[in-house]
Structure 1
Amino acid sequence: MEKPAALAELVRVKARRDTVDLDYLRAARAAAENASQREIARVLALSQPAVNKILARARGIADLRPTFHGATPFEVAQRYSGGFIDRDQVIDELARWPYLPKPKADEFDDVWEPGEGTWYDVEEALQQGLIDGEIYEAAQLRRHAGKQ
């Protein structure tokens, strides 16, 4: 079932906002390597405590993976949904991603947390409407073709 246009646009705008926020945090962290918090506060017209909070958030953000447009497959899908990369690029990156293997279930508990970097990121992106079923299938087919 296709989403109404207004809901699809809402998903796109949220993806844009989320990826721009990640870029902002990464840029702030990079700036802090060569500038003081006071200097950063001055150029951003913020208080130093506000910059400190931004940098605290930035510490938990992973860097982009080399040759990818995201730190996780989910972020790659967000960048596609937000219009930062095209369809061919998202399929290529989701197919090439070095996914972590699915953890083995504990013999006493079959519940597992997939974590970032597993194929679950792509499934979650599909469920949230960041990618469509055709992208999901194309990435999966290309991924498995590359393993042969």
Structure 2
Amino acid sequence: MATSWRSRLYAAAAHRRVGEEDWYRTVADAVEEAPSQAAVANVLHTSQANVSRWAARGRKLQAQWEAGASGNQIQALAEQLGLPPSIGRVMASPYEAALRYSRGQLTRDQVVYLLSSWPYRSWNSRTRGEQDDVLATVNGSFDDLIAAHSAGLLDDDLYDEIADALERKAAAPPPTSDPQTELTEHATVYTTLISLEQPAHARR
């Protein structure tokens, strides 16, 4: 699937952001384990002031992730797949999961499982812009999966495999112990996904 220069640029920028955030979190973890910030600074050949600033940024990022409504669900999915905490406890969106797959941090089976089980946000949570129009995308919703496919992070076959898995979940009967299942939401986003697909990317 050919991608436009815009899509490639968006993906490269996202790769850079994920790498930077991983760096800040890693420094924060090192500060917790090392005898002192000075020791960390010595290893990195930098000043203690830089280490303190980076660690503070890492702690803030982690706190923001933990405060998210889906954080515990995502971490549970990661643990089921046996992902290391350094990956499982930081994934903030379906798009980021696709990014980490493209970086070789997730296998194909792992990303299929994650993205077919992800607690997607509802499209009803769209906000409004300056002209009082509903914004086109919702971070953490199925929009992320569509964007990841458009950017070339998920190839056509993988995109289809994830959509098929969601379709099967939507068609499965809900558990009798929990009638308010999220499968209804998956059915809705799947139907909308199909309607948004490019004509060249027809369902097989």
TM range (shorter): 0.7 to 0.9
Matched, 1:130 2:122: no
SS of 1:33's partner is helix
Alpha-carbon offset, residue 27 of structure 1: 1.8
Contact 2:116 2:166 in 1 (8 A): yes
1:144 matches 2:145 = no
| 2:62 aligned with 1:80 | no
Deviations 1:74-112 (A, max 9, x none): 121111111222222211111011111113557994413
Structure 1 alignment gaps of length 5 or more: none
1:56-71 aligned within 5 A? 56-58=56-58, 59-61=60-62, 62=65, 65-66=74-75, 67-68=77-78, 69=88, 70-71=91-92
Q: CA deviation at 1:2?
A: 3.2
Task: Tell me, yes or no, if the aligned pair for 2:21 and 2:61 is still in contact at 8 Å.
Answer: no
Q: Describe the SS at the equivalent of 1:98.
A: coil
User: Which deviates more, 90-99 or 22-31?
Assistant: 22-31
* Corresponding residue of 1:94: 115
Quote the residue 2:144 is aligned against.
Answer: 121
- Residue 98 of structure 2 aligns with an amino acid whose one-letter code is A
Aligned counterparts of 1:52 and 1:126: Cα–Cα separation in 2: 38
Larger Rg: 2
Cα distance in 1, alignment partners of residues 138 and 154 from structure 2: 19
Which whole-Å CA distance do the structure 2 matches of 1:24 and 1:105 have between them?
A: 31
Overall identity of the aligned pairs, in %: 31
Contact 2:126 2:138 in 1 (8 A): no
Unaligned runs of 5+ residues in structure 2 are 79-87, 173-204
Amino acid at match of 1:79: R
Q: TM-score, normalised by structure 1?
A: 0.72
Q: Give TM-score scaled by structure 2 length.
A: 0.55
Contact 2:25 2:61 in 1 (8 A): no
Q: How many residues align?
A: 141
Flag as ranges the 4+ runs of structure 1 deviating above 6 A: none
Amino acid at match of 1:80: Y
Over the residues paired in the alignment, what is the CA RMSD in angstroms? 3.3
Q: Which residue in the other structure is 2:32 paired with?
A: 33
